[in-house]
Structure 1
Amino acid sequence: MKTVLTYGTFDLFHVGHVNLLQRAKALGDQLIVGVSTDEFNFSEKNKTTIVPFEHRVKVLESCRHVDLVVPEQSWQQKVEDIQKYQVDVFVMGDDWNGKFDDLKAYCDVIYLPRTRSISSTAIKQAMAVLSQLNQELN
């Protein structure tokens, strides 16, 4: 069995997330997804999420491409997870190109193209603009 592993925040789940998960799953038989906890996002990534961790996990668990969801609590756990779950392929979006090449010592590393014109950050920015416009109109 070929196991694939990816990580992400998966806030405001959208078609770009679906495309990543679908492409990742196509590379193997089992897809494991590490979901960044709210604490990890805040302390290490300087990001706050709109959707709480438990809800993001539930959304991913319901996705047909995902076989297992695990919490991501640190940058260092990737090697541990690769070894623990006997991962063959580590996958990330190409915005991370080269950042995880050190993991090639443990498994194949593949950077998949992102879905253009959509991201959680872009959605959050659009929501902020709409909120501001709404406040100005009222």
Structure 2
Amino acid sequence: MNNKRRIITFGTFDVFHVGHLRILERARVLGDQLVVGVSTDSLNESKKGRPPVYPQEERAAIVAALRCVDEVFFEESLELKAEYIRLFDVDVLVMGDDWQGRFDKFSSLCEVVYLPRTPAISTTEVIEKIRY
């Protein structure tokens, strides 16, 4: 039996920036193992209406290389979050506070924690800076 406290979070992690790093580091502090679902290219396009800048394999490789991350998988559908929580036997789901309340429905499966985002940084803002 696994006695380690397992944490799960999800994201696209496109154009990786310090905000991504900080939320992953803070999520990892909440437990012994951090599992990260990286959105597939097709999921990202359906969510955001544009393809990611970097393909899913590269985004997953970047996230997997971080010391605070123990396991990475591809999130193929937003509707599968409950299945991912069960599959990875997690104790805590962590999301950024911009999602506040949207994942409370999973509180019967695990603890749900919303962490504050790093102020003044987002992938969209980084992309806009690069464009101009």
With normalisation by structure 1, the TM-score equals 0.90
Say how many residue pairs are matched.
Answer: 129
**Structure (1 or 2) with the greater helix fraction:** 1
Q: How does 1:94-133 map to 2 (within 5 A)?
A: 94-129=97-132
SS in 1 for 2:126: helix
Q: CA RMSD in A?
A: 0.9
SS in 1 for 2:89: coil
Determine whether 1:71 maps to 2:79: no
Paired residue for 1:56, among 56, 59, 63?
A: 59
Q: Specify every segment of 5 or more residues in structure 1 that has no aligned partner in the other structure, as ranges.
A: 130-138
Moved more, 43-52 or 108-117: 43-52
Paired residue for 1:33, among 36, 54, 63?
A: 36
Give, in whole Å, the separation in 2 of the partners of 1:80 and 1:45. 23
Paired residue for 1:5, among 4, 8, 13?
A: 8
Structure 2 equivalent of residue 45 of structure 1: 48
SS in 1 for 2:84: helix
Give, in whole Å, the separation in 1 of the partners of 2:64 and 2:44. 20
SS in 2 for 1:76: helix
Give, in whole Å, the separation in 2 of the partners of 1:123 and 1:70. 25
SS in 2 for 1:7: strand
Give, in whole Å, the separation in 2 of the partners of 1:42 and 1:19. 25
| 1:39-61 deviation line (CA, Å, top 9, x unaligned) | 11112432321111110011011
Give, in whole Å, the separation in 2 of the partners of 1:127 and 1:45. 18
Matched letter for residue 103 of structure 2: F
With normalisation by structure 2, the TM-score equals 0.94
SS in 2 for 1:12: coil
Q: How does 1:70-89 map to 2 (within 5 A)?
A: 70-89=73-92
**Per-residue deviation at 1:6?**
0.1
Sequence identity (%): 47
